[in-house]
Amino acid sequence: MLHWLPPSNTGGRDDILYVVTCEQCLPDQIECQPCDASIHFSENPRHLKATALTISGLEPHLNYTFTVEARNGVSRTKTAGTHTTLRVSLNQTEPPKVTSINLDSRSKTSLSLSWSVSPRQQSRVLKYEVAYNKKNDENSYSVHRCDGNSVIIEKLVPGTTYVVRVQAQTVEGAGTYSMEYEFDTLPAEPEGANQAAIIGGAAAGVFIVLLLIGFVIFVHRTRRNGRSRQSGDDVYFSKS
């Protein structure tokens, strides 16, 4: 929260308004940029009557510069000499925090997940800790550690909902866990369906075998009958 005092000389006016501007930059940068949309103000920073303002959404490892200007309420012009600047550096030891977890793929017994942190803090992460358990069953709690921002969790139960959260760890220590996300493994195929598929496959195999046997018998008989006729014709012509 920022606090400031009114100008010592208001020109006899009591309708002073305040304008607060924000700039941000990395510690090794000289020139700063206007603060991005992730910064939130408790009130409109360009039309303030109070001498205090709450600012949220600030990120560690950034330097912020806040400038407060006092302006005449009628002319909206800057009152000469009535502005002040405050430079703030946030706590450098705050660990990064995972902001979202995504489901990349799944099977009956596995979940493939990935997650993201602020790009400015990604380089500080040494490893991640992935904690998961069956929904409504904390006794199934398990932990998986990995170096990258993705993991494949295996040996899961088919058709089951799992609660997952991820924690980033740095040299300074471990951060807080992310929000809990729920993901489902694919359901197992019904046992009856497997048996029906096996029986159907076996029946189809038997039918094909019988069909082949019948075809072979048919061809064999056709050839034999043809030879018998040919033999009778040869005898007849030889007698004449």
Q: Which band of pLDDT confidence, cut at 50, 70 and 90, is reported for residue 230?
A: low
Q: Which fold has domain 2-89?
A: Immunoglobulin-like (2.60.40)
Give me the CATH topology for the region 100-184: Immunoglobulin-like (2.60.40)
pLDDT grade for 237, boundaries at 50, 70 and 90: very low
* CA 99-27-119 angle, 5° bins: 25
Question: Chain centroid to CA 98: how far?
Answer: 10
pLDDT tens-digit profile of 15-73?
A: 788 899 999 887 777 788 898 888 899 999 888 888 899 998 887 778 888 999 888 75
Predicted confidence band of residue 238 (pLDDT cuts 50, 70, 90):
very low
What is the number of alpha carbons within 13 Å of residue 188 lying toward its C-beta? 9
SS3 199: helix
For 48, which DSSP code? B
The whole model's pTM is what?
A: 0.48
In percent, how much of the chain has pLDDT > 70? 81
